[in-house]
Amino acid sequence: MSDLKSKILPKLWRFDLKTIFLMAFFLLLFLLGIFAFLVEQKYGLLVTGMRTIGLGGSAWGVYIVFDIYFVGISFAGIVTSALIRLFNLKILKPLARMAELLAVISLLISTFCIFADVGRPLHALVYLPLFARPMSPFFGDFTLIAGAYFFASAIYLWLAGRSDAAYCASQNLPFRWFYKIWACGYKGTAAEQTRHYKTSFWMALAILPLLVTAHSTLGFIFGIQGGRPGWFSDLQAPEFVVMAGVSGVGMLIIIAAILRKWLGLEEEIKLEAFKWLGNFLWVLTATYIYFMIIDDLTSFYASPKIDTLVALRTLFGPYGGLYWTTVSSLFAAFGILFLQFAFNKWSIGLTVIAGFLVNVAAILKRFIIIVPSQVFGTLLPYPQGFYKPTWVEISIIIGTGAFGIFLYVLFLKIFPIVPLEEITIEKEKILEPGPRSFFRKLAFSSVFLTGILICVITFLSSARFGTKPYLDPIIPFSPLLFIVGIFITFFSAAVYEIVPSVKKSDL
């Protein structure tokens, strides 16, 4: 058994007192969040700090702030994993599964924030799939992020873990059936490794533009609202993409440092990995600082009066403390990382501090984007308002984050968080065409084309193609079926990788 396997495998399904206490603590916080959510369901959004715009309040609050924040964290998680696969970044390979898991869990808990924000989640789950229209950015939020982005990340994590699941199934571990189901018959043959290499490569290529599109859609929700001062800007989409990268890379640095110490992975997760992530982070941070400067200069130079008012209230008014904390955190993180880069002297501790600072800035910046433009930024002569989250909102957000940490720790205890099995086939052989199975090609093509066909038909139906825009879609639940089509399309990658060959030469 290799040193890595000897570090990871003995800790699987071993719940010591510290781990049990940690998981129980986060589970209790999650139960607190559930209790707060039940209070909200009983009394309505009146128990929150949100109020109608124009009546002294903000219609969106911390729920939307953390929905965007959690989705942003997932961005860097899956991007890092995809770049590792595409460019064979060996120094970061031990972080691949950490990043993939971060993406899946972050996307999952982001949906909890949406459920809390809509007030009546059951009605939303029924009516949104019935009536959502592609003309609204919320359609993209509902389909690309809650649907396509999550399914693609989950399938990516599943396929990448098949080899380790097969190895765990061969060991004397509890619940071997769980690993066998995950492995789906993986044997580690040259043909299987070749298929996995190709699947990972093409899925990474497909996921990267999907991520940019999904996070740009979040920016469009704000940026194309022409009647909302402070939001109407063509910089919203790129700012959302870059800030997602900033918060996600920062969070991955924190997680990698914690697990490096907790699991004793100092030899596997080297200082070079933090150096690579740190360089990536300071470039992203510098880019976002540039966007902020351009945005603020535009607001003060030639913007309409109401836009300037929102900018003034944000910088020097009630939310000025949050704004300057955001600016200070970003500049401090940039300074810490850039100085390490300039002098080529890296410290894991300082890099973790920078990762923490950019995440503080990411949360506060999302709050600054969302709230001031609602309480101050109305074009009509409404009174200026104020927003302060209540204990219900804070409890739900804490419970949501605690549940995400609980899931992450649970995964650590049931599955290797660091890849144990590597592809051993030589790269030159992988790139050779080799024999292929006609049955596998037929199954893959059938599933892929079926998914694409469902996507096209249901998208047109959701857009009311061939009917009046105010009528219901011709095909009931078209938006939901559109997500199903996306899932089938990405699942075709699993079909290609898992369906065995019927030729002896392909075994």
CATH superfamily placement of domain 3-432 = Formate dehydrogenase/DMSO reductase domain (1.20.1630.10)
Q: What Cα–Cα distance (Å) separates residue 11 from each residue in 15, 228, 338, 408?
A: 8, 53, 37, 15
256 burial level (CB within 10 Å; 0-12, 13-18, 19+)? buried
d(CA 116, CA 484): 24
**Given its phi and psi angles, is residue 328 left (phi above 0), alpha (psi -120 to 50 degrees) or beta?**
alpha
Contacts of 392 (CB under 8 A, 6+ apart): 36, 39, 40, 47, 48
Helix (H, G, I), strand (E, B) or coil at 136: coil
Determine contact, residues 392/39, Cβ cutoff 8 Å.
Answer: yes
Number of other residues whose CB lies within 10 A of the CB of residue 422: 9
Neighbour-count burial for 45-75, b at 16+ CB within 10 Å, e otherwise: bebbbbbebeeebbbbbbbbbbbbbbbbbbb
Which positions of the chain have pLDDT values less than 70?
A: 1-2, 54-56, 137-138, 302-303, 377, 421-437, 500-507
The predicted pLDDT at position 501 comes to 55
The predicted pLDDT at position 137 comes to 64
Q: Using alpha carbons only, what angle is made at residue 156 by residues 80 and 169, rounded to the nearest 5 degrees?
A: 115
Helix (H, G, I), strand (E, B) or coil at 265: coil
d(CA 388, CA 56): 12
Q: Sign of dihedral through CA atoms 465, 470, 472, 477?
A: positive
d(CA 161, CA 176): 15
The predicted pLDDT at position 421 comes to 64
d(CA 405, CA 28): 12
Determine contact, residues 435/49, Cβ cutoff 8 Å.
Answer: no
Tokens 């080899």 belong to 163
- Entry field: residues in the chain: 507
> The tokens of 293 are what?
């400067």
The predicted pLDDT at position 253 comes to 94
DSSP H helices in 376-472 = 391-414, 427-431, 438-462
HEC string of 299-322? HHHCCCHHHHHHHHHHHHCCCHHH
Maximum C-alpha span of the chain = 77
> The tokens of 167 are what?
């190895």
d(CA 51, CA 415): 44
